[in-house]
Structure 1
Amino acid sequence: MFHIADSRPMLWSIALLSVLASGCTGTRYMPAQGQLAGPATAPQALQGFAGTADIQLDLPGGYASPEARNYPTQLATSEVSRWFADAGEDLTVSMHNENIDDSGWITMIPYFLTLGILPSWVTTKGETVMEVKAGDQVLFQNREPVQYKSALSMLLPTAYLVGSPGTEQYEVMTNDQLNRHKQALQQFIQSQQAGYESAVSAGTVDAYRQYLNNNPESFFRMETLRRLAELAPATHALPYHRDNIAIDSAYIVYLPDEYDIWFLGPQDLKVYDVLRLSRDEDNTLLASRIRATRQPYKVFNTDEIALLKEGGLSSDLIAAMIDASASSQTGPTPAPPAVASAAAQPAGTPAESPAQNGMSDIAAQCAKRYAAFKACDQVPSFGANICRSQVKKKYSHIACELIQ
């Protein structure tokens, strides 16, 4: 039979061990080189992105409570989330711990021998790792050493001789680590900027094009394309734009709005597809294929027809696109031959109403938006994310969002 008197020594031992294991705790952060890093601002280059913070800084080891261990993760997540314009998937900034190791457990011996009057302390060392990623691709990585000492004592608050109670030192540690990573990221971006500004200092078209060819993964690739768009000639600019697209298809993002018509039409027979096919295929047969689709382009106005002809499209192919547009509105009945004369008489009464022309313009924007997103997929490194951000800003029509 179990007697309470017989169990007293065991209960007392359990109680004593519990008291010794749940005493006062103190923590002291030990920064690299013995001093904290200077304050650093958030990377301005990330402000144009929608991003995600993926932070796992719960430090194992030592005598910290679970709440204190989780505190660095909470602080860093809140800070990094503010680096982006809004939440999204353009970029991910992750931070985590690696190579964490504890030393000093032998100090538990005097701790128990003095019933917790003398503190036991543990030194935790390791690294925090920051990565900036686009999907699974790591664009930037930085490692910083991290070290802190945590202490435990009972009966007397001797643990506070080693470090501060609560989460104060964890906040100091998190801010210092963030500042070090931010400085490294800023230096990485600035190092590319210095090379970029030097390479394009002449401000000429050739200088920008040469930079694109020599630096396919530059952070400033999209900025280079934007500057090229600004240098376009005032007249007969289509060959200029076409050459830029040949260098980098993401140039579509900065193509002037009047060129949206090149993205109209059915899949694989959009206007720019027709231009490409017309170089190798019989134009009469190609015109028949266009009419057979009965898919809308639009009834082009005078300026648009001039632009299409400037690009190299024949009157027969332009007329076929107008015929196909008319056929898509009248159902299965073939469009009358007179419609083809719209190419020769562009100033005449259009077959589409103003509302239908407006829908064609939206369709052109959506098609160009889709083509631009596809082009962004071919841009490496940071540029792909900048590219997608620019596309979202420029082509924000709600109809495009619904369609795509």
Structure 2
Amino acid sequence: MTCSATTRVALWATLLACLLNSGCTGTRYIPSQGQLASPTPPPQALKGFDGNARVELNLPGGYASPDDRAYPTQRANEDIQNWFADSGDDLTVAVRNENIKDSGWLSMLPYILTLGILPTWLTTEGETVMEVKSGDEVLFQNREPVAYRSALSMLLPSAYLLGSPGTGQYQVMADDQLNRHKQALQQYIQSQQKDYETAVSAGTVQAYRQYLQDNPESFFRMETLRRLSELAPATHALPFHRDNVALDNAYIVYLPDEYDIWFLGPQDMKVYDVLRLSREEDETLLASRIRAANQPYKVFNGDEIALLKEGGLSPGLIAAMIDASANPTSVKPAAVAPTVTSATSGAASPGTPSPAEVTAQPGMADIAAQCAKRYAAMKACDQVPSFGANVCRSQVKKKYSHIACELIQ
């Protein structure tokens, strides 16, 4: 008899608990400073990147269903993905909750005493954190306070007095939080742009070079290099470009196409390596090393020879590179650029072309030069801090889009 009574009490308690937790729920977002942030478009500067979203806004606590509380994550993911030109790995926008805590548990007492007529509610407070990242490097971070109230009642829809049902308020919360983060990111970029335009207002070579030296982590670093390249003199421009590369390796991205020949040659003995070594080694010995290596550069035409001479290469070293390129006993066409030409050769035909075929196809050497320059430019981009590195990589991919280069790098 005792067991039966105990069982009935347990069943009634379980039933009551189920009823008390199966009523209507309402949620209300509590905006920071009492009002919603104005709708804000994503920063236009991000349209220059490929990116992805990594959002975890599934809000803990509250009485709403798990699907409703997961809605902000879905909403934010869809919004952020539209900030970029396309899906990719240039940048990642990560949004998450931190320091979340609940209050209001004491409201459960009148809820139980009135059998669910009066609502019980929880107020959840914390902050959302947005980070713009390149790989593991955080380029920008912003924090915004977040709060919402979730109510539950059973016999009457009194929970709706404290909030609305469904995902409506979660959508409001997601949009408001993203607008606040976008505003902060926009202000960050605009503050740099104002300083940038002031610093380079003179529009001179010296103004741009000084800005690069004073602002190594500027969002506008690559824009500065691009503008600088546009100031190149019409003739005898190589010293100008060489000084800019010495100032910032990422300038390689904006070198005119005719300078691609400086990136031809085997690893550690490319044309620009030969120029550097010519200042340290005896010219006759260096020319002998080039011929002995027996690895092709290119049979340079008259304009290219003039450009190499302008850069400081002697006729003897240019002749050695031509000899290495025209020698029919060369046995390793892949040596033009070990990480480049092997894939280029494979893309050209199923078999491996002979050295004579390599020299008979000037286009192949041009492709090798472009791929070598692309590789050098990507390495230079790795040294550019902050957003500039991603702008740099994006420019490199657009400029050097030959399929062979894409396959091997």
Is TM-score (shorter-chain normalized) higher than 0.5? yes
Superimposed CA distance per residue, residues 330-388 of structure 1 (whole angstroms, 9 cap, x where no aligned partner): 3469xxxxxxxxxxxxxxxxx87886100000000000000000100111111111100
Find the aligned partners of 1:194 and 1:266 in 2 and give their Cα distance: 44
Q: How does 1:54-65 map to 2 (within 5 A)?
A: 54-65=54-65
Q: What is the match of residue 383 of structure 1?
A: 388
Residue 298 of structure 1 aligns to a residue in which SS?
coil
Find the aligned partners of 1:332 and 1:369 in 2 and give their Cα distance: 25
Over aligned residue pairs, what C-alpha RMSD do you find? 1.7
Q: What is the match of residue 326 of structure 2?
A: 326
Alignment-mate amino acid for residue 99 of structure 1: N
Find the aligned partners of 1:332 and 1:158 in 2 and give their Cα distance: 86
Q: What is the match of residue 117 of structure 2?
A: 117
Matched, 1:369 2:368: no
Superimposed CA distance per residue, residues 116-145 of structure 1 (whole angstroms, 9 cap, x where no aligned partner): 000001111110111111111111111111
Superimposed CA distance per residue, residues 259-282 of structure 1 (whole angstroms, 9 cap, x where no aligned partner): 000000000000000000000101
Q: How does 1:152-231 map to 2 (within 5 A)?
A: 152-231=152-231
Q: Which runs of 4+ in 1 moved over 6 A?
A: 1-6, 351-354
The CA deviation at 1:289 is: 1.1
Structure 1 residues 355 and 75: alpha-carbon distance in aligned structure 2, compared to 1, 3 A threshold: farther
* Pick aligned residue for 1:403 from 394, 397, 408: 408
Alignment-mate amino acid for residue 313 of structure 1: L
Q: How does 1:26-65 map to 2 (within 5 A)?
A: 26-65=26-65
Find the aligned partners of 2:208 and 2:6 in 1 and give their Cα distance: 89
Residue 361 of structure 2 aligns to a residue in which SS?
helix
Q: What is the match of residue 335 of structure 2?
A: none
Alignment-mate amino acid for residue 148 of structure 2: Y
Contact 2:29 2:169 in 1 (8 A): yes
Find the aligned partners of 1:214 and 1:11 in 2 and give their Cα distance: 75
TM-score (normalised: structure 1): 0.93
Q: How does 1:199-348 map to 2 (within 5 A)?
A: 199-327=199-327, 329-331=328-330
Find the aligned partners of 2:306 and 2:394 in 1 and give their Cα distance: 32
Q: What is the match of residue 348 of structure 1?
A: none
Structure 1 residues 9 and 171: alpha-carbon distance in aligned structure 2, compared to 1, 3 A threshold: same
Contact 1:299 1:352 in 2 (8 A): no
Structure 1 residues 355 and 68: alpha-carbon distance in aligned structure 2, compared to 1, 3 A threshold: farther
Matched, 1:107 2:107: yes
Residue 295 of structure 1 aligns to a residue in which SS?
coil
- The runs of 5 or more residues in structure 2 that have no matched partner are 333-355
Superimposed CA distance per residue, residues 53-84 of structure 1 (whole angstroms, 9 cap, x where no aligned partner): 11011111111211011100000000001111
Contact 2:288 2:320 in 1 (8 A): yes
Contact 2:297 2:321 in 1 (8 A): yes
Matched, 1:392 2:388: no
Sequence identity percentage: 76
Structure 1 residues 202 and 323: alpha-carbon distance in aligned structure 2, compared to 1, 3 A threshold: same
Structure 1 residues 312 and 141: alpha-carbon distance in aligned structure 2, compared to 1, 3 A threshold: same
Find the aligned partners of 2:400 and 2:331 in 1 and give their Cα distance: 33
Superimposed CA distance per residue, residues 147-184 of structure 1 (whole angstroms, 9 cap, x where no aligned partner): 11110000111000000000100000000001011011
Would you say how many aligned residue pairs link Structure 1 and Structure 2?
Answer: 386
TM-score (normalised: structure 2): 0.91
Structure 1 residues 353 and 269: alpha-carbon distance in aligned structure 2, compared to 1, 3 A threshold: closer
Superimposed CA distance per residue, residues 289-345 of structure 1 (whole angstroms, 9 cap, x where no aligned partner): 111222111000000000000001011111111111123x53469xxxxxxxxxxxx
Structure 1 residues 83 and 7: alpha-carbon distance in aligned structure 2, compared to 1, 3 A threshold: same
Find the aligned partners of 1:228 and 1:9 in 2 and give their Cα distance: 83
Residue 219 of structure 1 aligns to a residue in which SS?
coil
Find the aligned partners of 2:370 and 2:331 in 1 and give their Cα distance: 27
Find the aligned partners of 2:319 and 2:247 in 1 and give their Cα distance: 31
- The runs of 5 or more residues in structure 1 that have no matched partner are 334-350
Find the aligned partners of 2:7 and 2:378 in 1 and give their Cα distance: 74
Contact 2:25 2:160 in 1 (8 A): yes
Alignment-mate amino acid for residue 153 of structure 1: S
Find the aligned partners of 1:128 and 1:292 in 2 and give their Cα distance: 63
Matched, 1:360 2:365: yes
Contact 2:295 2:330 in 1 (8 A): no
Q: What is the match of residue 346 of structure 1?
A: none
Contact 1:264 1:367 in 2 (8 A): yes
Find the aligned partners of 1:115 and 1:5 in 2 and give their Cα distance: 22
